[in-house]
Amino acid sequence: MSVTDTCPFCPRLCRHVCPVTSATAREAATPTAIATVLRLVGEGKLPAELAAAALELCNGCGACKRHCGVQQDVPALVRAQRDRPVPAALPELLPADGVRTIRVDIGSEAGPGAAATSDALGHATLMVGDDRHVQRVAAHFAGWTVVTGSHAVAEVLSAAAGLAGKYGVRVIMDAPPESGPRFLTCWEGANGVDGQIACCGAREGYERRQPGIAGAMAGEVVRRMGTRKHTCADSHCASWLRAHGGEVEGPRADQSR
């Protein structure tokens, strides 16, 4: 059965793992509520603009899917019904001293000598399911080693894993510091590793689309951290949490390797 056939009749069993709901206490943000709105709009019982509002509440972290007893994928439904983002321009590739290695990080995270890109190369490209653009990215980086401190960038390049033999793209992720409790990124959480909260609000450009909600999510993560210093595996997430008062160590895009 589809998400809209199943989730509207579920007693919100994934509510406790939804980071948007946890941070805002908004019942409208629960996967159950979002699926219900989409079902009613599809039946013509609610105006179409309510569907757009419901879709914007989901940040796509995938926590609800991982905790769903019947394996429903609400984020996939949301991505299918949202407007697809315009693909980002890909960075110019200029080999230095014949070494085909480039550093790629999201937006302001890019340091000296790094290629900055938007979330359209990161989470969004993969999560909208645009296979043609993923292949375009793989072909662009063919034969290159990409170093990144962002799981968003790594996700897209890893999506081309099936094309690796053809394009030969290699990805190196920065490792976070060993010390301190780990704050796990939503990428890790959606792949079966539990963290303090599934997402800090910085995923898929959510902090730009929903700055108030994303700020509340970061604040909730920081609150749960207490006075402890944490480490984070993603430079974008780490900087977002630092901006909201978190004592977070993690990879920085301008670190020398």
Over residues 163-179, the pLDDT tens digits come to 555 778 888 887 767 76
pLDDT tens by residue, 32-75 = 999 999 999 999 999 999 999 999 899 888 888 888 888 888 88
pLDDT score recorded for residue 87: 66
Q: Is the dihedral of CA 108, 111, 112, 116 positive or negative?
A: negative
Give me the average pLDDT of each 10-residue run along the chain (257 residues).
Answer: 85 87 92 92 93 89 83 84 71 79 70 54 58 79 85 74 68 75 66 67 81 93 83 82 87 49
What is the CA angle 10-11-13, rounded to 5? 90
The CA distance from 141 to 92, in Å, is: 10
pLDDT score recorded for residue 226: 82
Sequence-distant (≥ 6) Cβ neighbours of residue 78 within 8 angstroms? 34, 55, 58, 60
Cα separation of the two ends of the chain:
49
pLDDT score recorded for residue 141: 86
Give the length of the chain.
Answer: 257
Burial per residue of 205-214, b for 16 or more beta-carbon CB atoms within 10 angstroms, e otherwise: bbbeebeebb
pTM (global) more than 0.85 = no
Q: Quote the DSSP letter at residue 17.
A: G
Q: What ranges in the chain are assigned the alpha helix state H?
A: 3-6, 19-24, 31-42, 48-57, 63-66, 74-81, 123-127, 131-140, 151-159, 164-167, 186-190, 206-209, 211-225, 235-243
> Which strands make up the sheet holding 170-173, listed edge to edge?
115-117, 101-106, 145-148, 170-173
pLDDT score recorded for residue 23: 92
The token pair at 121 is: 């190369």
pLDDT score recorded for residue 125: 57
